[in-house]
Structure 1
Amino acid sequence: MIRYLKTLYSLSFMIFTCVTTVFAADVPPKQQSASVSFGAEYASGEYETGSTTRSIYMPLIVTWFPTDRIDVGVEIPFVYQNNSNVTTDLYRNNQIAAAAKTVARGGPGGSGGSTIQQQSGTGSGSSGSSDSAVSGIGDIILRFGLIALFEERWLPQLRPSLFVKFPTANSSDGLGTGEFDAGAGIEASKWFGDTYFLGEVLYIYQGKADGFGLKNYASYTLGAGYQLTAYFKPMLMLKGATAPSTYSDALLEVRERVLWSLSSTTSLDLYLSQGIADSSPDYGGGIAVVYSF
């Protein structure tokens, strides 16, 4: 049965873009000064723990664009897990901003991460051993981005960024580590005809929670997309990170993503993911509706 489900998931992963392409339609562009995004993401994996952790991450993202160069955003998530294993917020700290002007600089960026087990007998809070489901408000994230260089003939667009994660999630339930995190990075993107390339590198400073072995780490994203229609773009992305704790290995997963403008104000951001490294989720997926105004 498990083998059948994995095969079914792999097939859906490959045909994901082909199916949605049938429904794509051109719509007129709209200049945006702000956007609101709401989505849901699902991830499932053992994360080298011997037990399966299934999670749902539902972020509300509000982004303001005061100028063509600057974006300021806040993310308020609701989190559900089938157990109280403490997981990192890998990949949730930023979503590629330059992927499409009509899609908010948010969208489904989560469901990637590694379970962090608290070392037995040390510290306080959740040990990650409970099988009871937990849910509640997750860690709120504040982001700031600045386009330092717009794309030119031979030069990519460059966008440095900063973020701060506030420990609003309940650490005793395993929804967070109870510590502040912060990070900085830079994103590059470039068009070659209808083909689009992007990359992002982030360095994350984690708060030191007793017993979890948290350490600073680097994450990266590489991707390529093709503009099938004026407002429909499938993308293939590779996302990874160095080990976020002494109890975790490096992470790596592949994603099939679709950016689809439904109207001049509304867009969809969809993805399916499959883990490559053992510390990453075995599989996942997400959808976000983005309203721009």
Structure 2
Amino acid sequence: MYCRQLRVSHSAYFSLEGPLLIASNHPNSFLDAIVFSVLFKRPVHSLARGDAFKNKWLASILRSLNMLPVYRSSEGVQNMDYNYSTFDKCKEIFKNKGIVLIFSEGRCINEWHLRSLKKGTARLALSSWQDGIDLTVLPTGVNYQSFSVFGKNIHINFGSEIKKEEMGEEMGFGKSLLFFNQKLQAQLEPLVYELNKEDKGTLAQTFEMHVPAYQKLLLFMPAFIGYCCHLPLYLPLKMIAKKYGHKNDHYDSILFGLLFTCYPFYLLLGGVLINEFTEGSWWMIILLLPFCAWSFMRLKKQF
């Protein structure tokens, strides 16, 4: 229900087996990793910012979601050595025909723009090839209609696979890093949309999904019910997400996480209350709420 439309350039890639390194842009915090984990048939292990693993409780949750820490120099030079351990774990995943997702820009920023690439993707790919791993690198661009509303349209564009053979003749590790990043940057540029957030017309032209008139007619009443019934859940969670995420580009992901966690309990509470004040099986009407929420998502204003 958090996604209205998902458009993919080559859906066959979701069936790929490893060793595979997905090299993606990073516009929307941990929601990016969740999207790939849901779509790929095999488990996807993603690299996440190291400071998120400082809290042991949160770290255990992240690791259970197949996330591994990678540190930037801004998070403390003393932590950089942990990256070698993470890369070793990635290589073990590759050797077992697994999939790793890395965000080649490094930092997450809510924008429609491809930033300069960090060296982490190149280091992991080159060192894996040096260790004799037949790794494939898959350039991927993920583009969101919005970073502040639920019911968004998401476009995922895949580039051409990068193999070891494309690196050419031996040129030294430093030059190989530069050559790899240039190749990856050239692949990602047409996959990541370059849009001005103030240009609503172009945004609508790029992302807006047409809803047929008959759907608007059929779904109007369920959508209205969905809006009214879910507002008591959505509004407080939206306030919490704004409090903790509006200044750090994590708002959208925090809101998704809160809705994903709280919604089953919200439905359970609704079922209990209906059962308490009615007789028979009227509580089962609560099972229609997800459909009503989906109906509202289909009809709500996109821009």
Q: Same fold (TM over 0.5)?
A: no
> Structure 1 or 2: larger helix share?
2
TM-score for the superposition, normalised by structure 2: 0.26
> Structure 1 or 2: larger strand share?
1
Report which of the two structures shows the higher radius of gyration computed on alpha carbons: 2
TM-score for the superposition, normalised by structure 1: 0.27
